[in-house]
Amino acid sequence: MKLVFATNNIHKVREASEILGKGFEIVTPAQLGITEDIPETGNTLRANSLEKAQYIYEKTGLDCFADDSGLEVDILHGAPGVETARYAGPERDPMANIAKLLDQMVRREMEASFAREFGIETPYATRKARFRTCVTLIIGGEKHFFDGTMEGKIGRELYGNGGFGYDPIFIPEGRDVTAAELPEHEKNAISHRGNALRAMAAFLNE
């Protein structure tokens, strides 16, 4: 089965190909001559993934899927969320995003500490966070949604050279190293996107 994946990120394409396995051919928009930026104007991950998948389906008429992922940090009330890739600005600079995230978390931790000193009840500062992915699959015009999460916490310093985005500061639950320090196959086995893609693969193989 041929499926268009609404991304030109080689990491995502490789991960999807490995999870879907034999019998599936993953094609990128660029391979079909679609080189423009695919719009993502929604205010939720599902809305963005649907918008991207719908864009590809309307352009090509081919079965396709799209994903949108975000990092949710509890002390920041779920931010950066849908703004994950452009948290520090439209340039989508990973290092700038990480710097802003760590700075915002320190500010919230200080605010919580001051509040408690004055007897104001406030939740204890937490570094708990999660990556969340929503995948939209369009088959024969019908839409299907699959979700995946990876729980963990935010570290205070950057470690590791693998992965991308916030991986150098994200420590997956049950691990004592960041996602950037994990071998790619180990990270893919627990990742939010991997979990969503495995749910989609199970549906396609029913």
Give the tens place of pLDDT for each residue, 118-158. 777 766 678 999 999 999 999 999 999 999 999 999 999 99
pLDDT in tens, 93-118: 999 999 999 999 999 888 877 766 77
Cα angle 99, 16, 37; round to 5: 60
Predicted confidence (pLDDT) per residue in 55-75, tens digit: 999 999 999 999 999 999 999
2-204: CATH topology is: Maf protein (3.90.950)
Q: What is the pLDDT of residues 176-185, one digit of tens each?
A: 999 999 998 8
Q: Would you say residue 18 has pLDDT above 80?
A: yes
- DSSP per residue over 114-152, as a string? HHHHTT---PPP--EEEEEEEEEEEETTEEEEEEEEEEE
d(CA 151, CA 174): 9
Residue matched to tokens 């389906």 = 57
Catalytic residue check, 68:
yes
Interior/surface letters 109-137, b for 16+ CB within 10 angstroms, e for the rest? eeebeeeeeeeeeeeebebebbbbbbbbb
| 60 neighbors 4 (Cβ within 8 angstroms) | yes
Catalytic residue among 63, 68, 74, 167: 68
